[in-house]
Structure 1
Amino acid sequence: MGESVHTVTTLPTARPPGCPFDPPAELTDARRHGPISRYTHPGGAAGWLITGYELVRSVLADPRFSSRKELINVGDFEIPPAPPGEFLLMDDPQHGRYRKPLVGKFTVRRMRLLAERIEQITAECLDAMEAAGPSADLVTAFAKPIPAIVICELLGVPYEDRGSFQEQIDSFVNGETSDEELIAAYTATQRYLAELVAAKRANPTDDVLSDLMDSDLTDEELRGVSLILLAAGLDTTANMLALGTFALLQNPAQLADLRADPTLTGRAVEELLRYLSVAKSFMRTALEDVEVGGQTIKAGTTVILSYNTANRDPERFADPHVLDFRRQYGGHLAFGHGVHQCLGQQLARVELSVAITALVKRFPTLRLAVPAEEVGLRPETADIYGVKSLPVTWDV
């Protein structure tokens, strides 16, 4: 207890030059000093930064830490509660009330049954990409449309509306949208979801949103639940597909291994999830005084949980900065842990497995069309890390 504790002064920080897949250098340095560091939030409130795997996992499973939005303490201003239905920023029992009706919709079995439809969607995207080739922006041709079509079909969003949804959701999470644009996108999305919920209420169809009409959720709550599912289903998987392909192209030995042995696909997906950790961090607030890693976190203090350094923790993973599809390990934190563990993780796994397998098989000579250092990356202020575009080419 008498030892000095490392202090981190600013977040976010830039990724190391030439290392677009590695966590920001200051975060990695903080973890080297220990799994927990002092941190002052931009608003001036004292907090903690947790960078070690075991401590991040323990906080995620600890009911003494809250996800409630209104309890986040970053400085001298109040944060309103999460809107109805937006259950990621709630605790039980409210969180469980929204999550429980959804659990049966995203089971391993149900997601595997979707694989054939995902294969069809992927093939259609690759057909169009090949026909327009031999070059493409992999983000717009492949990474965004596949999860967009899948999640929109699951929720019952008409196909012709998915393009505008992609743009609106991207506005929420890209880290570069002005406040005015953000408000406009959020307002337009809420208006559309209100119309969609009303349509499903009047004429239910075969989709998740229609199934929820039998629950006790109000229309306002259904809008919030739909927004969470759309945002999570679109942006995280899209960025994993694009950034994951970038990582594959920068690791030709692993890519060759995957092409030679398709049975590695499952391992490759798990390793890419660990290695990239596109959902970089989350916040939790202590409900009472809690000891974590030998430090007392006072009630009301908000901690930042760094997923990307936890998934690169050398105490958990040997050679953590190496992408290794034959790695022997169990349990990364890319989908979180505990009661808030990602509801759609099985859907994401199926999408990633199907899409990556099809891409590397269809285009055996796929490569970057620009130098790696010219690939545009999302800023660290973005909720989800990834690439803005990924220019690729191939031989015909």
Structure 2
Amino acid sequence: MTETTLYTELPTQRSTAFDPPAELGLLRERRPIARMKFPDGHLGWLVTSYELAREVHADRRFSSRSELQHSPRTVGGQSVGKRPPAKPGMFIAMDAPHHTKYRKLLTGQFTVRRMNQLMPRIERIVADHLAAMRAAGSPSDLVANFALPVPSLVICELLGVPYEERETFQTDTAKALSLNSSFEDIMAAFERLEEFVLRLARRKHVEPGDDMLTGLIATGELTDEEVANMGLLLLIAGHETTANMLGIGTLLLLQRPDQLAALRADPSLVDNAVEELMRYLSILQFGTLRTALEDVEIGGVVVGAGESVSISVAAANRDPARFERPDEFDVHRSAAGHIGFGHGVHQCLGQQLARIEMRVGFSALFREFPDLRLAVPAEEVRMRTDMAIYGVHELPVEFS
């Protein structure tokens, strides 16, 4: 591979259902930070090593601001260069001091007290859905009956979103995250989601509750638009990511009977299993994106001011320099330090909630259904290769 090699697009063709594109591993070995041509013609960089991924994530000279970024993939069939500045409250596409302000206010809502209060409620939600699944009988779609409704109900209760309105945001979220949606349909879906949460935020002024939206309003530091946009980010992230981890994580464990047997024999391994699933699967398909605010030397190259850096989370989490036998799934492994939840100031705020949901969900699922198995051949399971967040569209399972 030469200095002048250009990658016209981010490698996206997966090697297997559970492995990232093979080209990413080859890049990590030869050029862990490689020149890449973005779809709009912008020349930037692709990072594939664990060390450099953490370095870029943690370096304040690399910006998360949306108006500086070039997308590493087409969106709705269109090449997307620099986008408009983030709307008020959309803190994941901001830098300090705006990001710092919003994140601090949200951190105050993700309190230990609130997480502890949620534990028995999550256990009840999981138990109720598994009981309903058993009552409905075998076969069953694990995504529709368990993996999607459990985190959806949890995030609805946390934010104060009426659960009966879940189809509204689930439908529009799916459109917004689909790689097959047109650019216009994606923008329209986001607009409807924004309006949905804005109406809810305004309603909280007259109907406050013990929820995060009410808590954000009570700070007196935010407009309704800011509260709504912060809530929207949490709503999408809170159900999409965990739902897909529960779905594809179950598929993986059913395909690794030795690992599932180990987990059943020693339920205390569930903490390890959750971290290992996050590392091994890395469901954020296209990684994260940063833009250099100035010339930055990193990994033996100079990233020029204004150049984009696409960070492959999947490749970083399979780096043999950080994890032994990285392409093996092992529930006994301590996968601490993986970047499935990101790294640095933008690390996922809801990661502890996601961990609780997965620990409770996987533990109860395999305890209550000891003979759980696929109802179709594994190759017939529809993978979410057409979505920004990877997983399974449906997961037909059988049980006695």
TM-score range, shorter chain: over 0.9
Residues 1:284 and 2:290 are matched in the alignment: yes
Query: CA offsets per residue over residues 128-185 of structure 1, 9 Å max, x none?
Result: 1111121111111111100100000000011211222222222221323233432332
Residues 1:338 and 2:347 are matched in the alignment: no
1:171 match: 175
> Which residue of 102, 123, 129 maps to 2:127?
123
Query: CA offsets per residue over residues 189-248 of structure 1, 9 Å max, x none?
Result: 222212101110122111010011122110111111011000110101111110111111
CA distance in 1: counterparts of 2:336 and 2:189, whole angstroms: 39
Question: Post-superposition shift, 1:98?
Answer: 1.1
| Amino acid of the structure 2 residue aligned with 1:251 | R
CA distance in 2: counterparts of 1:310 and 1:195, whole angstroms: 40
1:100 match: 104
CA distance 1:284–1:142, shift in 2 (3 Å): same
| Amino acid of the structure 1 residue aligned with 2:284 | A
1:261 match: 266
CA distance in 2: counterparts of 1:328 and 1:181, whole angstroms: 42
Native 8 Å contact 1:286 1:298 kept in 2 = yes
2:30 match: 33
| Amino acid of the structure 2 residue aligned with 1:8 | Y
CA distance 1:153–1:76, shift in 2 (3 Å): closer
| Amino acid of the structure 1 residue aligned with 2:349 | L
1:301 match: 307
2:54 match: 57
Mind listing any 5+ residue stretches in structure 2 that lack a counterpart? 72-78
Report the secondary structure of 2:35's partner residue: strand
Residues 1:235 and 2:240 are matched in the alignment: yes
Native 8 Å contact 1:87 1:98 kept in 2 = yes
CA distance 1:77–1:274, shift in 2 (3 Å): closer
CA distance in 2: counterparts of 1:113 and 1:267, whole angstroms: 23
1:244 match: 249
CA distance in 2: counterparts of 1:5 and 1:369, whole angstroms: 49
Report the secondary structure of 1:333's partner residue: coil
Report the secondary structure of 1:85's partner residue: coil
1:20 match: 17
Report the secondary structure of 2:109's partner residue: helix
Native 8 Å contact 2:276 2:334 kept in 1 = no
Question: Post-superposition shift, 1:255?
Answer: 0.4
Residues 347-358 of structure 1 aligned to structure 2 (within 5 Å):
347-358=353-364
| Amino acid of the structure 1 residue aligned with 2:373 | R
Native 8 Å contact 1:197 1:219 kept in 2 = yes
CA distance in 2: counterparts of 1:202 and 1:12, whole angstroms: 49
| Amino acid of the structure 1 residue aligned with 2:380 | E
Question: Post-superposition shift, 1:109?
Answer: 5.1
CA distance 1:14–1:327, shift in 2 (3 Å): same
CA distance in 1: counterparts of 2:28 and 2:115, whole angstroms: 36
| Amino acid of the structure 1 residue aligned with 2:133 | M
Question: Post-superposition shift, 1:110?
Answer: 3.2
CA distance in 2: counterparts of 1:78 and 1:276, whole angstroms: 29
Mind listing any 5+ residue stretches in structure 1 that lack a counterpart? none
Report the secondary structure of 1:39's partner residue: strand
Identity %: 53
1:318 match: 324
Report the secondary structure of 1:8's partner residue: coil
Native 8 Å contact 2:129 2:145 kept in 1 = yes
1:378 match: 384
| Amino acid of the structure 2 residue aligned with 1:228 | L
| Amino acid of the structure 2 residue aligned with 1:59 | V
2:9 match: 10
Q: Which contiguous aligned blocks of 4+ residues in structure 1 show a shift greater than 3 angstroms? A: 3-7, 73-78, 107-110
Query: CA offsets per residue over residues 95-122 of structure 1, 9 Å max, x none?
Result: 1111111102224553233111001001
2:165 match: 161
Native 8 Å contact 2:272 2:334 kept in 1 = no
| Amino acid of the structure 2 residue aligned with 1:321 | D
Q: Which moved more, 1:73-82 or 1:292-301?
A: 73-82
CA distance in 1: counterparts of 2:273 and 2:5, whole angstroms: 34
Native 8 Å contact 1:6 1:38 kept in 2 = yes
Give the total of aligned pairs.
Answer: 391
Question: Post-superposition shift, 1:262?
Answer: 0.5
2:333 match: 327
Report the secondary structure of 2:205's partner residue: helix
TM-score, normalized by length of structure 2?
A: 0.94
Native 8 Å contact 2:66 2:82 kept in 1 = no
CA distance 1:180–1:321, shift in 2 (3 Å): same
CA distance 1:326–1:121, shift in 2 (3 Å): same
**Once superposed, what is the RMSD of the aligned Cα atoms?**
1.7
Q: Which moved more, 1:214-223 or 1:109-118?
A: 109-118
Q: Which moved more, 1:326-335 or 1:94-103?
A: 326-335
TM-score, normalized by length of structure 1?
A: 0.95
Report the secondary structure of 2:222's partner residue: coil
Native 8 Å contact 2:274 2:355 kept in 1 = yes
| Amino acid of the structure 1 residue aligned with 2:216 | L
Report the secondary structure of 1:106's partner residue: coil
> Which residue of 176, 184, 189 maps to 2:193?
189
Question: Post-superposition shift, 1:251?
Answer: 0.8
Native 8 Å contact 2:54 2:343 kept in 1 = yes
CA distance in 2: counterparts of 1:139 and 1:347, whole angstroms: 19
2:74 match: none
Residues 1:387 and 2:392 are matched in the alignment: yes
CA distance in 2: counterparts of 1:306 and 1:223, whole angstroms: 30
CA distance in 2: counterparts of 1:68 and 1:277, whole angstroms: 23
